[in-house]
């Protein structure tokens, strides 16, 4: 009897060992995966260059970072694509953390101008001409989509007041830049956070214009335009004919244009250089904003030149080249407007 008991006890132990082995192995694998970030040299090089968070967050961001690093590597290994990606400072984020669903409604208020009566040059770049302020890094502030408004306004004013520009290195060189704070205080409302429309320019007109950046002082969110003399003025704003890239080309030949854009793709998040073309882009689902500063052609491929507001380490020194005349790619011509 004792032998039978011993046999069943040993059998039970063996069975539990066999059953427990996969569990212990899985636990070990998870532990190794959890500690993988400690030995990933590529991850530590990225941390050194870009990350300013605490050590305690490394394990939390590693899985997303590794996924993005593999995506960038795979993309760049495909030799037939027209652009390259780079593992920039956003590598620890998902694109959904950066680009939120916005409401950029249709607008058909556009007016024909003398622009449409003139031929356009083969190449335009307002940035190289010196009319565009340096790139700002506003992604973390959640208001990066507002900067194309203020940059388009400034460029329009500067072009109309100066026949020639001069090269300036930083925002400090733009001593008379319009007050972004006044624009945000007076022409941005919480309930309209997701709206991309020309009424913001009309709001500037309603307030008589904008003061110089260094002159405007006010507590947060309090509009005090009435007590600050306006230095920059405009008459209104108009949309470029929707989805018409030729009309957009004509318009940007005369001044930079604020455009809405579908940026909800990892390819945009990690864009580095080359002519951007994303097959999954939408011309209707628009969720970001850029300042269109020109266009050109390279080896038979036409492109738009646009300025982002995610810092100079994103893209080509803060700019992106986008496929031109390819069915309104990413909605570049769907919601484009300018001040006048």
Catalytic residue set? 288, 308
* CA 329 to centroid of chain Cα atoms: 16
As a whole number of angstroms, the distance between CA 305 and CA 295 comes to 5
CA distances 80 to 147, 203, 320, Å, are 34, 46, 19
Distance CA 211, CA 139 (A): 25
Length of the chain: 340
Enclosing H/E stretch for 67: helix 58-77
Three-class DSSP category at 337: strand
b/e for 59-79, b at 16 or more Cβ within 10 A?
A: eebbeebbebbebbeeebeee
Is the CB of residue 206 less than 8 Å from the CB of residue 183? no
- Upper half-sphere CA count for residue 64 (Cβ side, 13 Å): 15
- Asked if residue 196 lies in contact with residue 239, where contact means CB atoms within 8 angstroms, the answer is no
Q: Are 242 and 334 in contact (CB under 8 A)?
A: yes
The encoded tokens of residue 184 equal: 């945000």
Q: How many CB atoms lie within 10 A of CB 42?
A: 12
Secondary structure (3-state) at 257? strand
Q: Which residues, at least 6 apart from 40, have a Cβ–Cβ distance to it below 8 Å?
A: 62, 66
Q: Write out the two tokens for 173.
A: 């060189």
């Amino acid at each position: 009897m004792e032998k039978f008991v011993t046999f069943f006890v040993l059998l039970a132990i063996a069975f539990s060992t066999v059953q427990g082995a996969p569990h212990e192995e899985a636990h070990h694998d998870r532990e190794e995966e959890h500690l993988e970030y400690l030995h990933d040299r590529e991850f530590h090089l990225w941390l050194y260059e870009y990350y300013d968070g605490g050590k305690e967050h490394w394990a939390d961001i590693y899985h997303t970072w590794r996924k993005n690093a593999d995506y960038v590597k795979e993309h760049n290994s495909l030799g037939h694509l027209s652009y390259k990606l780079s593992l920039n400072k956003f590598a620890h984020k998902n694109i959904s953390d950066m680009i939120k669903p916005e409401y950029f409604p249709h607008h058909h208020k556009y007016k024909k101008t003398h622009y449409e009566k003139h031929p356009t040059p083969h190449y335009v770049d307002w940035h190289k001409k010196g009319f565009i302020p340096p790139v700002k890094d506003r992604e973390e502030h959640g208001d990066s989509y507002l900067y194309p408004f203020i940059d388009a306004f400034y460029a329009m004013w500067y072009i109309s007041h100066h026949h020639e520009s001069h090269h300036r290195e930083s925002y400090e060189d733009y001593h008379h830049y319009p007050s972004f704070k006044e624009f945000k205080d007076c022409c941005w409302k919480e309930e309209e956070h997701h709206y991309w429309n020309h009424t913001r320019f009309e709001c500037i007109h309603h307030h008589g214009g904008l003061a110089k950046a260094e002159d405007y002082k006010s507590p947060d969110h309090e509009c005090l335009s009435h007590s600050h003399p306006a230095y920059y003025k405009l008459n209104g704003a108009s949309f470029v004919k929707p989805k018409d890239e030729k009309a957009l080309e004509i318009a940007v030949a005369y001044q930079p244009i604020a455009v809405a854009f579908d940026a909800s793709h990892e390819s945009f998040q990690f864009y580095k250089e080359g002519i951007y073309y994303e097959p999954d882009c939408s011309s209707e689902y628009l969720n970001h904003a850029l300042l269109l500063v020109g266009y050109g052609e390279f080896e038979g491929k036409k492109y738009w030149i646009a300025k982002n507001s995610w810092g100079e380490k994103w893209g080509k020194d803060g700019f992106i080249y986008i496929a031109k005349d390819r069915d309104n790619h990413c909605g570049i011509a769907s919601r484009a407007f300018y001040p006048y």
